[in-house]
């Protein structure tokens, strides 16, 4: 290309010289998902990429933005609502089953159930006369009514969060969560049912 044409190609309309654009940089290989290339030692993982960290962050955020608002409308804490919903779904449940299904520690479940009982939302029946007697929890008519009022709102809030994902993402995440739950249950006995400590509300 002649010199004058190369110069003209670099001139702007007002006659000022412009700097020819630099070639676009070659993009580096993206690090992408830190879980994609993972060795057994987890040597590439930082604490913010830990599964437990992300699950805890997401769980806490979902409780604040989704569960707390509709639990508050019923005058319940998140733990109380969860227990009420579990009992309402089953009709009645042993205390040990409530501890296991709620993924909360025994002390928290016991306190929440007593508060629900005081409000007339559940009934607690002690079975047997030994010190380790079985406690059976059942839903009351008032508890059923409150549950039936809150559940449609709860479903709507839960659906709104899930619909932020595509159908494919929802299907993959559901299968992945079930697989992880199975892995954890197979790795060790559930501490809630074995008498050991468990973290409240399933937080990591």
More confident residue, 90 or 10: 90
Mean pLDDT check: name the lowest of 53-67, 118-132, 134-148: 118-132
Whether 158 is in a domain gets the answer yes
Query: Whole-prediction pTM value?
Result: 0.69
Whether 26 is in a domain gets the answer no
pLDDT tens digits, residue range 57-98?
Answer: 999 999 999 999 999 999 999 999 999 999 999 999 999 999
Strands 122-127 and 92-94 come out as unpaired
pLDDT tens digits, residue range 174-194?
Answer: 999 999 999 998 875 544 444
Tokens of 175: 């299968």
Question: What is the percent of the chain where pLDDT is above 90?
Answer: 65
The mean pLDDT of 125-151, rounded to a whole number, is 89
Per the structure, the count of domains in the chain is 1
DSSP code of residue 55: H
pLDDT for 160 beyond 60: yes
pLDDT for 11 beyond 70: no
CATH number of the domain at 60, please: 1.10.10.10
DSSP string, 75-111: T--HHHHHHHHHHHHHSEEEHHHHHHHHT--HHHHHH
Look at residue 204 in the predicted model and tell me its pLDDT: 28
Look at residue 74 in the predicted model and tell me its pLDDT: 93
Sheet holding 134-139: strands in order across? 92-94, 134-139, 122-127
Whether 204 is in a domain gets the answer no
Whether 36 is in a domain gets the answer no
Whether 79 is in a domain gets the answer yes
pLDDT for 26 beyond 90: no
Residues 6+ apart with CB under 8 A from 181: none
Domain that holds residue 170: 48-181
Query: Distance between CA atoms of 99 and 189, rounded to whole angstroms?
Result: 14
Contact criterion met (CB below 8 Å) for 135 and 126: yes
* Local structure of 124: helix, strand or coil: strand
Whether 67 is in a domain gets the answer yes
More confident residue, 147 or 31: 147
How distant, in Å, are the alpha carbons of 18, 91, 122, 138, 148 from that of 135? 83, 14, 12, 10, 24
Q: What is the mean pLDDT of the chain?
A: 81
């Amino acid at each position: 290309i002649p010199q004058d044409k190369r110069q003209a190609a670099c001139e702007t309309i007002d006659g000022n010289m412009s700097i020819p654009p630099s070639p676009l940089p070659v993009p580096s290989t993206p690090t992408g998902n830190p879980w994609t290339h993972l060795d057994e030692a987890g040597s590439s993982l930082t604490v913010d990429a830990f599964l437990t960290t992300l699950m805890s962050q997401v769980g806490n955020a979902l409780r604040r933005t989704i569960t707390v608002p509709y639990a508050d409308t019923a005058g319940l804490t998140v733990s109380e609502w969860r227990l009420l919903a579990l009992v309402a779904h089953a009709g009645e449940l042993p205390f040990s089953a409530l501890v296991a299904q709620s993924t909360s520690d025994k002390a928290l479940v016991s306190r929440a159930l007593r508060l629900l009982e005081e409000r007339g939302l559940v009934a607690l029946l002690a079975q047997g006369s030994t010190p380790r007697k079985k406690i059976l929890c059942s839903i009351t008519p008032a508890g059923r009514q409150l549950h039936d009022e809150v559940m449609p709102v709860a479903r709507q809030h839960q659906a709104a969060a899930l619909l932020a994902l595509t159908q494919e993402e929802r299907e993959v995440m559901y299968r992945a969560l079930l697989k992880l739950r199975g892995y954890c249950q197979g790795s060790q006995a559930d501490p809630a049912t074995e008498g050991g400590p468990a973290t409240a509300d399933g937080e990591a």
